[in-house]
Chains A and B, each alone.
Chain A
């Protein structure tokens, strides 16, 4: 421990004497975190999908009193970016990966939609690539939301007919105009007849009046029933003034993990290689400190610096949240939990960095190697779950995904204990595994 403490003090002193490096350590991850925050927020939200309509795009249709511009509906799809193109071009772009799917609007779509004798069909073609599931989900969501809008219009149209039946009035079927008495007016007239001096007529009118009353009540409920059967489960979306996206839980967690990943991996790689560059490794391992203690010291050094930086970042986010009076506020009571996650994540990233440095041996190579390795392994963790299982497994062996999850859970989960401990166990295991590997690889530095 004495050797570790002495070397740790030396490394902190050396870092303090490199103001440019210290400044870069703070500024660089913030900038990268911000940029990746933007990417995370928007990447993959709108997959590019070719829109093929051999008979032209569907035109305007009228349902009841509502008008639907189907062209506008397609153009305004939020879930995917629909790009109109001919069938041959769409085919080419699908095979070359320029579009992730082809959505074809077949002939007769509009007439099917107007007639409603059968459901109009849209044909979606995807490749067998890993992203096809995601595109299908997005288009299902688009079709669902379109169906929902149409459904509302059809229900409204049906309810107008029911309303006419109930209250009576003028209507048009095709080109034929008609005038309907309506259940309520019929009931009123039957009530007059029920006061007829002819007892038989009065009794008959009374009986019919009772039936009309029951009919009126039943027809009055049709709207509710229609809506209920059309939407057995309804999702009510209430938008409130919450955090701006930049401070959302997801982006805050990604920013912290990203800052830690780059700082710790680069610092870890640089710190171990620096001992070789200074030519002091021989002295150290020749009786002053073994490779084990040297690797442990480097991991401790990186952990201290990177976790400190992570904490500063979290405090900065919190300060912005408080000063901006953003609803929900920063969960300050969770900061100790977050700090535990930061320490473990920094240790895991640091151990990985030391391993990279030990393998690379030279400062220039170590820096480049650290970048080349850390960048894809970070991006691997950003690939959505279920896209490609192999990628998910590779991501699981790098601390980034676990760090993001641990930070999110630590800051915003209502009951964080179980998930947080699981991710912390992963981070601790990765730190240990990379540390052991770094210890074995450190001999290469001599």
Chain B
């Protein structure tokens, strides 16, 4: 797939596949095209060229919380569950809240802390029990405990035969969690392989020739 905004190419032709039971990290500096790639995979953006084939249900957690600030967390979850055509809305909402460990509050979503908004953002992505998760910098606003809980969730999805693609600036995170690492630079896929291989590549004597990859 490829994506342009006007004449500007933000994603060069890129081929990738996420298999069942695979966790893939997506690295690269700011503006490399990570969020664009995830948005295309989530169906939020149309690729300017190429196709996206989705074999199973997708759950998307954008980088900036995508929710209605003047609705309560429960109202947000109920609305998105109904829009997604979930059969048992109450059960799905309960499950999603439990997955992210968010207490039911009557406060509006806009009044939640940034971290809790991010958890609600993830909970919305989990509605409908997706087997593939697309997470855009999911740990950015989370404390250490919540980060641990998130990776447990990722492990559960992998264990259930699902796939996860997450964008990150944290190489340690990628090394610990991901099976494979993709690195984008100015819309171009410059690395694809095991995170350890990337670490070795970065440590090589000619590493100074590399551009800043944000990792």
A contacts, CB < 8 Å to B: 2-3, 6-7, 10, 13-14, 17-18, 278-289, 446
Contact = CB atoms under 8 A, between A and B. Distances in A.
A279 B65 contact: yes
A286 B70 contact: no
A18 B70 contact: yes
A287 B43 contact: yes
Nearest to B110: A278
Nearest to A274: B68
Contacts of B64: 279
B68 A284 contact: no
Contact of A14 (B71, B80, B83): B71
B83 A289 contact: yes
B156 interface: no
A17 B71 CA distance: 9
B79 A10 contact: yes
29 contacts: A2-B82, A3-B83, A6-B82, A7-B83, A10-B68, A10-B79, A14-B68, A17-B70, A278-B69, A279-B62, A279-B64, A279-B65, A279-B66, A280-B66, A280-B68, A282-B42, A282-B62, A283-B44, A283-B62, A283-B124, A284-B83, A286-B43, A286-B60, A287-B43, A287-B84, A289-B83, A446-B39, A446-B44, A446-B45
A233 B13 CA distance: 83
Interface string B49-84: 000000000101010111111110001000110111
A279 B68 CA distance: 8
Question: Interface majority SS on B: helix, strand, loop or mixed?
Answer: loop
How many interface residues does chain B have, given as a range?
Answer: 20 to 34
Question: Interface majority SS on A: helix, strand, loop or mixed?
Answer: helix
Considering the complex of A and B, which 9 residue pairs feature the smallest CB-CB distances, nearest first? A282-B44, A286-B43, A288-B83, A286-B44, A279-B66, A280-B66, A286-B42, A283-B66, A279-B64
Interface of B: 39, 42-45, 58, 60, 62, 64-71, 75, 79-80, 82-85, 108, 124
Contacts of B65: 279
Given A13-B71, A14-B68, A282-B45, A6 B60 contact: no
A270 to B, nearest CB: 13
B80 A282 contact: no
A14 B75 CA distance: 11
Contacts of B66: 278-280, 282-283
A287 B41 CA distance: 12
Contacts of A17: 70, 108
Contacts of B82: 2, 6
B70 A14 contact: yes
Nearest to B45: A446
Nearest to A18: B70
B63 to A, nearest CB: 9
A263 to B, nearest CB: 20
Contacts of A278: 66-69
Contacts of A280: 66-68
B83 A285 contact: no
Nearest to B64: A279
A8 to B, nearest CB: 11
B70 A288 contact: no
B32 to A, nearest CB: 19
A274 B45 CA distance: 18
Contacts of A286: 39, 42-44, 60
